[in-house]
Amino acid sequence: MYIVEVIPITKGAFKSRLSFFSKESLSPGMVVSVPIRGKKTSALVIDAREAREDKLSLRKGGFALKKLDPTGKKYIFPPATIRALHDAALLYAVHEGVALERFTPSVVIGNADKVHETKHTDEQVTVTPDRLVLQAEYEDRIRTYRNITRESFARGQSVTILAPTIAEAENLYNLLSRGIEEQVVLATSALSKKNAIAVWNRVVDDVEPLLCIITHSFLTLPRENLSTLIIERESARSYLSFERTRLDARIFAEEMCKNNGARIVYADFPLRVETRARLEMGEVEEVSRLQISSRGTASARVIDARTKEDPEKPKKKRAFSSLTDGAGEAIRSTYAKKGRTFIYVSRLGLATLTVCNDCETPIVDPTTGTPMTLHKTPEGNIFLSHRTGAMLPAHTTCKNCGSWNLVTLGIGVDRVAEDVQKLFPEAYVLMLTSETASTHAKARKVAKQFFSENRTILIGTERALPYLEEPVELSIVASIDGTLSSSAWRAHEHALHTLFFLKDRTQDLFIVQTRMPETAVMKAIATGNPTEFYRDELEQRVQFGYPPATTFIGLTWTGTERAVEILKQEVEETLKDWELVGPLPPRLIAKNRYLARAVIRLPKGVWPEEKLAQALRSLSSAIAVSIDPDEIV
């Protein structure tokens, strides 16, 4: 008799393990049928052991385990994938089912009967696979990917490239499939149900070496002869899930490689601070010599957007413009040459802050007190709170002194669009933001319009970046100071990666407007060399105890004031054996809704720790746990 632990793989089912008994010994990775609430449900075997090992606990349990039906059992995942799920679940203090749902297509989870059986091999990896880094700009990375693919195919081995977004995966497919179309597979969440299952089955069945270009939801895709997994643009924030538990696809990819023996390559320009630190510590090695500075054709120009006035001349009242004179001249020159211009803005709306010009009181959300953003709508301008969704009419007066004399500060994407249309009324202006292009298809349509016409101007937020698949003659960063001023401890690094990404996608001239030209980020982009930024950033993180020198375990919870207090007591009681920073005083985020945070700071190398992971798993589902969160206060 055997005790079998399984995860139901029907979409929306339980995320934790369930136990059954079986007369047969079953192996991890098998799919079997189990009775749940009177219905037969497909489930993934995670563990199996002889019942005599648990005889005492079974007697004390006071309940009988149900029997599972091994009829029709088949392998969908190799044991290496099950081990990777277990390791990732421990790292993020979740159950294996949470990781399974994040890194497996929902159509596969919900249609296990249509998925082909994979070959069962349970060879344990005895040697740690190579962990490599590639710091190079996009064109050089593409050349390296071609070389790695060619070398792997010659040895009869396959390669997987993990892309951060659907758009980037599709672009990689277009660039790398030329001449080897029959051996390249594209697997993203944009596939239909039928095509997703067909692609999955093809990768499982095909004996020829393949190049698989995937997004995170296909990370559990079984490939027996996989030799290399490449993480393209490893700095991209889209590798992190935005659900309650923020699982990192990069971490799971490394766990997969550790268990299946494939080497992993982290690729970007520049690499993340954590990755560079691992290189210095000897945890990873170089694929080839690191590219130290930008070698693109575009020249970079940092423009100080602060108004400079001659004290000997009388002050002149000048209308505010989101574009400096230098940026306007560059757009005019590019337009005359029939070139394209991309303008990046870090914030939505017309203006990120509005204050009273008489008493300097900002317009804030009546409920939470957070600043509201001025937005343009077909019915007129409104103030909008991105936190609560609260709206106020634009003709609102100052709540402090009653003045109508309000002035907008900060630059939003709508304000930039207005200024561009005033300066260049004849230009073809497009916008690509989460509001104007909420789906991949809509964003792809806007990008196609942009690249199909000359003299076009595209204004976009971070949403637009993956769709810049061709170099543009001129790129302008209208505003990134909001990112630099963010409370997130990775904010400066994120700004750095955004700027170098845009410079790499620019052909002639790259302009950055800023009121903070003295920052290390601006110095790095002006020189094209991020080395000094990395050195200073890493020193500061070590000095103040931030990752990679330590590990943060962040906890957040929301609710009414009473509910937040009850959850606070649960956190303090459950985690009393560990040094807990906080919980911090809860802050109001919506009407009668509060948010509270706490954090555990662990020395490097301590995490994961089984006892702490079990304690975190035992917390109420209302408490979100995240590893190394960007915000801890």
**Looking at the chain, how many residues does it have?**
633
CB 400 within 8 A of CB 393: no
Residue 71 lies in a domain: yes
DSSP 204-250: HH--S--EEEE-GGGTT---TTEEEEEETTTT-GGGB--SSS--BHH
Task: Please say if the pLDDT value at position 44 is more than 60.
Answer: yes
Residue 125 lies in a domain: no
How many Cα neighbours within 13 Å face the side chain of 288? 13
What CATH number should be reported for the domain holding residue 614? 3.30.70.600
Among residues 172, 174, 164, which one has the least CA distance to residue 141? Answer: 172
Among residues 426, 469, 451, 459, which one has the least CA distance to residue 342? Answer: 459
If asked whether residues 303 and 213 sit together in one domain, one would say: no
| Higher per-residue pLDDT: 152 or 224 | 152
What are the start-end ranges of the H helices in 463-559?
481-484, 491-504, 520-527, 531-544
Which pLDDT value is given to residue 59?
57
If asked whether residues 469 and 570 sit together in one domain, one would say: no
Among residues 356, 352, 400, 348, which one has the least CA distance to residue 372? Answer: 352
pLDDT band of residue 476 (cuts 50, 70, 90) is very high
- Letter string b/e over residues 256-268, b meaning 16 or more CB atoms within 10 A of that residue's CB: bbbbbbbbbbbbb
72-81, 188-197, 361-370, 441-450, range with the lowest pLDDT: 361-370
Residue 57 lies in a domain: yes
Which pLDDT value is given to residue 122?
66
CA distances from 226 to 148, 208, 209, 480 (A): 12, 11, 8, 40
CB 625 within 8 A of CB 607: no
If asked whether residues 230 and 143 sit together in one domain, one would say: yes
Task: Please say if the pLDDT value at position 67 is more than 50.
Answer: yes
Which pLDDT value is given to residue 454?
92
CB 322 within 8 A of CB 442: no
Looking at 75, 97, 115, the residue that finishes a domain is 75
pLDDT band of residue 411 (cuts 50, 70, 90) is confident
| Residue bearing tokens 């659900």 | 243
Task: Please say if the pLDDT value at position 220 is more than 90.
Answer: yes
Instruction: Judge if the upstream peptide bond of residue 530 is cis by omega within 30 degrees of 0.
Output: no
CB 581 within 8 A of CB 598: yes
- pLDDT tens-place string over residues 5-17: 888 765 544 457 8
- pLDDT tens-place string over residues 254-313: 999 999 999 999 999 999 999 999 999 999 999 999 999 999 889 999 999 876 544 455
If asked whether residues 222 and 161 sit together in one domain, one would say: yes
pLDDT band of residue 532 (cuts 50, 70, 90) is very high
| Residue bearing tokens 């993990």 | 162
pLDDT band of residue 401 (cuts 50, 70, 90) is confident
Which pLDDT value is given to residue 71?
64
Which pLDDT value is given to residue 40?
76
Which pLDDT value is given to residue 566?
95
> Residue 110: enclosing H or E segment and its boundaries?
helix 106-110
| Dihedral sign, Cα of residue 159, residue 160, residue 163, residue 167 | positive
If asked whether residues 534 and 609 sit together in one domain, one would say: no
Which pLDDT value is given to residue 360?
58
Average pLDDT over every residue of 368-375: 64
Task: Please say if the pLDDT value at position 556 is more than 70.
Answer: yes
CA distances from 561 to 519, 565, 582, 594 (A): 40, 6, 16, 6
Q: Mention every residue, 6+ apart, whose C-beta is less than 8 A from residue 519.
A: 484, 492
Q: Mention every residue, 6+ apart, whose C-beta is less than 8 A from residue 224.
A: 78, 118, 119, 121
If asked whether residues 256 and 162 sit together in one domain, one would say: yes
If asked whether residues 343 and 483 sit together in one domain, one would say: yes
If asked whether residues 5 and 52 sit together in one domain, one would say: yes
Number of domains in the chain: 4
What CATH number should be reported for the domain holding residue 475? 3.40.50.300
Which pLDDT value is given to residue 309?
46
Q: How far apart are CA 61 and CA 57, in angstroms?
A: 6
If asked whether residues 343 and 487 sit together in one domain, one would say: yes
If asked whether residues 559 and 461 sit together in one domain, one would say: no
Looking at 540, 573, 599, the residue that finishes a domain is 540
Q: Which domain holds residue 161?
A: 131-286
Q: What is the pTM of this model?
A: 0.88
Average pLDDT over every residue of 452-476: 95
SS (H, E, C) 3-59: EEEEEECCCCCCCCCEEEEECCCCCCCEEEEEEECCEEEEEEEEEEEEHHHHHHHHH
If asked whether residues 433 and 468 sit together in one domain, one would say: yes
Looking at 29, 44, 75, the residue that finishes a domain is 75
If asked whether residues 581 and 530 sit together in one domain, one would say: no
How many Cα neighbours within 13 Å face the side chain of 107? 19
For residue 214, give both structure tokens.
Answer: 């995937």
Residue 244 lies in a domain: yes
Task: Please say if the pLDDT value at position 353 is more than 70.
Answer: no
| Higher per-residue pLDDT: 106 or 184 | 184
Task: Please say if the pLDDT value at position 135 is more than 60.
Answer: yes
What amino acid occupies position 271?
Answer: L
Task: Please say if the pLDDT value at position 137 is more than 90.
Answer: yes
Among residues 492, 486, 494, which one has the least CA distance to residue 462? Answer: 494
What amino acid occupies position 133?
Answer: V
CB 217 within 8 A of CB 186: no
Q: Mention every residue, 6+ apart, whose C-beta is less than 8 A from residue 250.
A: 231, 234, 239, 266
CA distances from 633 to 290, 581, 587, 602 (A): 35, 10, 11, 17
Residue 250 lies in a domain: yes
Which pLDDT value is given to residue 576?
93
Which pLDDT value is given to residue 64?
62
Residue 617 lies in a domain: yes
| Higher per-residue pLDDT: 231 or 406 | 231
What amino acid occupies position 615?
Answer: A
Residue 386 lies in a domain: no
Which pLDDT value is given to residue 412?
82
Give strand pairing partners of 354. 408
Average pLDDT, the chain: 87
* DSSP-derived 3-state class of residue 280: helix
Q: How far apart are CA 444 and CA 438, in angstroms?
A: 11
- pLDDT tens-place string over residues 159-186: 999 999 999 999 999 999 999 999 999 9
Task: Please say if the pLDDT value at position 565 is more than 50.
Answer: yes
Task: Please say if the pLDDT value at position 334 is more than 70.
Answer: yes
Which pLDDT value is given to residue 310?
47
Task: Please say if the pLDDT value at position 320 is more than 80.
Answer: no
Residue 119 lies in a domain: no
44-53, 99-108, 556-565, 618-627, range with the lowest pLDDT: 44-53
pLDDT band of residue 70 (cuts 50, 70, 90) is low
Which pLDDT value is given to residue 47?
84
Task: Please say if the pLDDT value at position 242 is more than 80.
Answer: no
242-251, 354-363, 555-564, range with the lowest pLDDT: 354-363
